[in-house]
Amino acid sequence: MRAGRTVAGALATILLAAAPATAASTTRGGLAARVAAVGAPGVAFTPLAGSTLSRPTAVEATDGRYHIAYELLLTNTSPLPARVERVEVRDARTGRTLSTLSGAALTANINPVAGTPAQPGEDSGDPAPPARDPAAIPPSSASIVWLDVAIRDRAQLPRALVQRVTTALTRPSGEVAHNTSPAGRVSLLQRKPAVLGPPLGAGIWVADEGCCTVPTHHRRSLQTIDGELIVSQRFAIDWMKLDAHHRAWSGRPTDPASYFSWNEPEYAVGAGTVVAAQDGLRDYPVPHGPHPAPALDEALGNNVIVRIGPATYVTYAHMRSGSVRVRVGQRVRRGQLLGRLGNSGNSSTPHLHMQVQTTSYALSNGNIPYVFDRLDLLGQITEVFSDETLGLRPTGTLPYAAAVRPGLRRAEMPLDRAVLRFPGAPR
């Protein structure tokens, strides 16, 4: 107890009494010197504690780069209000800077762990209050930084990453002190992404709400499950079928059959064993729009989970009621029919929610990247959308742009809203 009070008191004294410091002065003769004076040479007190939620894995994606997507949790342990000004990710071995977030790019990729709280006057008709600064972290508070490190050359992939954070600390006098300090280290998980076959049949498909930089429901799926802070859908995709005009639906959007995805067959992406299979939940009317989340045990709707390798499980969610064709314990072959695409569970319009995780259940921090053995990249939907908004659009047509490098890809992960075909998919 006495040591804890001494450390906290020393930190408060340093932060409150130190002269305004740049990153350089913090390192030379500033904070480091003051810390050395209290008996910890070579070690520095830092206002923010940094940790990562998982060990990331590099994956090659359809933009030709290797993506390392992960999250940095920052906790303000100081008694002073802090504002994050810069986050750097470096190769732990070489010190080379791999990614930097500052300015608008930073504020778009940081938020309090509970999200931005509602402010007085919101949704009440009163004048809107000033927007809160997403990069501000009050004392004894925590924020999450959403990181995506993109590497062009496989040979340049790091084995471990270190984060450095520049912070502005506001003293009671109003003076601002700047501090640059380490914010944790993380080793990459050295495992190859699972290589998958087609989960769906012939036709044009869009990989909606995919990785890695767009703030989608999946990428920002921060949850607390059984006392653990997790991102359970980091690499999940919502698959939706399009026609040749890039329409997701045609006709009445209130009719499930108007959606080209409806009742489409879903196939095993690899040989394995069924570890979960649920059927009998109703399909919701469409378009359902935003709605209260169902009970946790019904969120996936009718679903199947297949173990295709050691610590490698594939989840297929929101299947049509009555369509599941497999049972728990059953061995399935690659390309075997599992069920049909529907709108059950936490779904607003028909789609296949698919993800890969290291656990036999979907709500875990073991969400991992994967690649498809072959895909024919066509282009991208250029406007952000989701299953919640799809049926509320005036038409089912989605804005589309052809890929800069269209054609056959091997062992790549589709990025958000990539439009593609699966060569060799069942017809």
Cβ-contact 96, 151 below 8 angstroms: no
Buried-state track 386-417, b at ≥16 Cβ within 10 A, e below 16: bbbebbeeeebebebeebeeeeebebbbbbbb
So what's the pLDDT on residue 45? 84
Range list for CATH 2.70.70.10 in the chain: 194-421
C-alpha–C-alpha distance, residues 338 and 65, integer Å: 32
Domain with residues 2-21+46-115+133-187, CATH architecture: Sandwich (2.60)
So what's the pLDDT on residue 330? 98
Cβ-contact 191, 57 below 8 angstroms: yes
DSSP codes of every residue in 68-112: EEEEEEEEE-SSS-EEEEEEEEEETTT--EEEEEEHHHHHTTEEE
Q: Which residues, 6 or more positions from 312, have their beta carbon under 8 angstroms from its beta carbon? A: 194, 356, 358, 368
Residue in the structure block whose two tokens are 């045990």: 297
So what's the pLDDT on residue 22? 41
Write out the chain's pLDDT in tens, 427 residues. 444 444 444 455 445 544 343 433 333 344 444 444 445 556 778 999 999 999 999 999 999 999 999 999 999 999 999 999 999 999 999 999 999 999 999 999 999 998 754 434 334 344 555 567 999 999 999 999 999 999 999 999 999 999 999 999 999 999 999 999 999 999 999 999 999 999 999 999 999 999 998 999 999 999 999 999 999 999 999 999 999 999 999 999 999 999 999 999 999 999 999 999 999 999 999 986 566 778 888 999 999 999 999 999 999 999 999 999 999 999 999 999 999 999 999 999 999 999 999 999 999 999 999 999 999 999 999 999 999 999 999 999 999 999 999 999 999 999 999 999 999 998 8
Query: Residue 156 is which amino acid?
Result: Q
Range list for CATH 2.60.40 in the chain: 2-21+46-115+133-187
So what's the pLDDT on residue 426? 87
So what's the pLDDT on residue 118? 43
Superfamily per CATH, domain 194-421: Glucose Permease (Domain IIA) (2.70.70.10)
So what's the pLDDT on residue 421? 98
What's the whole-model pTM score? Answer: 0.88
So what's the pLDDT on residue 40? 53
Backbone dihedral angles phi then psi of residue 230, each to the nearest 5 degrees: -135, 160
